[in-house]
Structure 1
């Protein structure tokens, strides 16, 4: 019987690029399944990222400490991939931390295994390139949104794009993600409801 974590992980990969079964079998040999309790860190700021992380179940956020204030940069739900990419690629300390916002089940693939699979399989290397392109486009879209939209517009876009995010994320984290104070978010929420 194939574990649920594997089925879910392969479904996400298949959306990007369908790997042959023998490559999926090889990849699965390198998978590590971990559980994290709410509020624990999957990666601390200044720790080196050594894994690609797939969130099987739960909710996680990436954030950065700036002048003793936590600034939320990203959130991921079940079925998403989140890794501190700058640290993963450079193998230098991560400028961000990744934290469980609820109990999580996470599947990790070590960087050494990913690189070995890149060398071994052209198809796996292609998957890696396509995923990198996806994450790059997503980041650019976020930067454009921050630079060219008001806080209210960013909130409305977020409501349309990811209604689960708005419902599940604590207000203080959501406000910092939008780049506004909690009070401003409360005003925007009451205005948008009208």
Structure 2
């Protein structure tokens, strides 16, 4: 819990009173590798902070999955559109390695909004972080070649290459695993 407290102190200067209420609502959960946290069709009830691990969001299709994004230690993860609307998610959320999450359910977040001075800032920071990840990926898919997307991903998140199966990276940058293999050969 120390990491999430440092995060909030850094961004918000959270008071001890607000921290006491906020931290009392957090639930620490550990998940194994390849654990589905949310299936498509389920409603997201958690906004989670990753203490340790990697989480992937993907759209399950009949013959393949399309990776929407990854989240790493020190960041938020949620099927956020489902969370804020409390409607079924169109995609899945799964762990890619052993993962520790600090989770806040929808009802608890509403209580934090009502009872703390800092609640709305916390909600805003989480939503901004999740929105910026999504927006950055969409722009990259529209604006850059697959090779440029791979370079950018490698430059920005070298830990991806080390811990994430190449088929998920290929899906994330919008190419087949074979095309990713050719890209990797060209740049090595």
Task: Give TM-score, length-normalised by structure 2.
Answer: 0.94
8 A contact 2:76–2:130 mirrored in 1 = no
Residue 130 (structure 1) aligned to one of 121, 125, 128:
125
User: What is the Cα deviation at residue 182 of structure 1?
Assistant: 0.3
Match of 2:104 in 1: 109
Residue 75 (structure 2) aligned to one of 76, 80, 85:
80
Distance of 1:181 and 1:158 partners within structure 2: 16
> Larger deviation: 105-114 or 118-127?
118-127
Does residue 167 (structure 1) correspond to residue 162 (structure 2)? The answer is yes
What is the SS of the residue equivalent to 1:24? Answer: helix
Match of 1:3 in 2: none
8 A contact 1:16–1:131 mirrored in 2 = no
Q: Are the structure 2 counterparts of residues 183 and 99 from structure 1 closer, same or farther at C-alpha, using a change threshold of 3 Å?
A: same
- Note the residue ranges of structure 2 that are not aligned, 5 or more in a row: none
Residue 156 (structure 1) aligned to one of 151, 157, 164:
151
Match of 1:49 in 2: 44
Counterparts of 1:1-194 in structure 2 under 5 Å? 6-193=1-188
User: What is the Cα deviation at residue 79 of structure 1?
Assistant: 1.6
User: What is the Cα deviation at residue 161 of structure 1?
Assistant: 0.4
> Larger deviation: 9-18 or 116-125?
9-18
- Note the residue ranges of structure 1 that are not aligned, 5 or more in a row: 1-5
8 A contact 2:42–2:89 mirrored in 1 = yes
8 A contact 1:43–1:98 mirrored in 2 = yes
User: What is the Cα deviation at residue 102 of structure 1?
Assistant: 1.0
8 A contact 2:50–2:73 mirrored in 1 = yes
